[in-house]
A = this chain, B = another copy of it.
């Protein structure tokens, strides 16, 4: 079908190996020969058959980024960054959607898929430390987010507890005392929610505020619909909070909607803070105060670590990296002066 090394070799009157060396620079080639070969390549429009190359090399040049939901803008923004970073390193990034499904995550961990992918970046949701430890086969694995800790793999995440502290401190600083949390799961299956609840409780304690279980609302998933439903639940309990800290921006936006539907003003009656800094939050009414992770850093680091492992390079530094974050004040907690 396409133009192969053989065609170039014939045209240039050299051997296959020489053409390969011109293309890959694995061994030096004489200047005259190189030019003849290069000319043949240009004329015939040769591009290597990656399948064959990778069969020979044992690598496919494909890495995967598996996220629980593509439609969460946080992951979409992360994906854009990771795709471009991977391209810069000569890799193609494949998106996988686990749909926050346990089976899907397990299948990715050590399924047949691994045979075609050089490495995997996974944002785990339904699996834990044991499942990751049980994995034996498959290429390098980089974990992102707060799902799994203490495993022998690279791990990139923000410091969730510190992030919660920052959010609560901000709410306390603007005079809120009855601060609710939305996003704790019923089961033990979403680790990051637990961490965020822990940060919430610790930060409340640090501020001298009591922890009230009635101000914690569970959700099944972490989308706008879940946030809206949980906020309505919270309001139905009769004990209205004066602030809400949400598991992420989507949940926060759902909460904003529920508050509007119930006739409460934000931030006057209830202040709202999310996490992720997705673009939606800059255009919601009111705009959303949020904890902004450094998505660029997370995406770049995850891809670089993975590629380094694939290529067998020594990777300096600890396995687990915490990336920076900052609090962005917007209307949902009252703007400082703009």
Contacts and interface: CB of A to CB of B under 8 A. Distances in A.
A60 interface: yes
Given A76-B71, A94-B94, A115 B50 contact: yes
Chain multiplicity (copies): 2
Interface centre among A58, A116, A284 (most CB of B within 10 A): A116
B50 A52 contact: no
Interface centre among A50, A60, A73, A80 (most CB of B within 10 A): A50
Nearest to A253: B283
B71 A84 contact: no
Interface stretch (A17-25, A127-135, A177-185, A254-262): A254-262
A233 B76 CA distance: 29
B116 A51 contact: yes
Contacts of A70: 76-77, 79-80, 83
Contacts of A2: 115, 137
Contacts of A260: 285
A97 B84 contact: yes
Interface in A42-58: 47-52, 54-55, 58
B115 A47 contact: yes
Contact of A256 (B96, B257, B285): B285
Interface string A62-99: 00000001110100110110011000000011111100
A92 B73 contact: no
A6 interface: no
B58 A55 contact: no
Contacts of A223: 279
Nearest to A96: B83
A55 B115 CA distance: 15
B80 A97 contact: yes
Given A95-B95, A116-B51, A283 B228 contact: yes
A95 B77 contact: no
A96 B79 CA distance: 10
A282 interface: yes
B83 A77 contact: no
A280 interface: yes
A1 interface: yes
A155 interface: no
Interface string A238-278: 00000000000000011011001000000000000000000
Given A51-B54, A224-B282, A256-B285, A71 B73 contact: yes
Interface in A84-142: 84, 92-97, 112, 115-116, 137
11 contacts: A1-B58, A71-B279, A73-B76, A83-B97, A84-B97, A93-B94, A94-B94, A224-B279, A224-B283, A283-B284, A284-B285
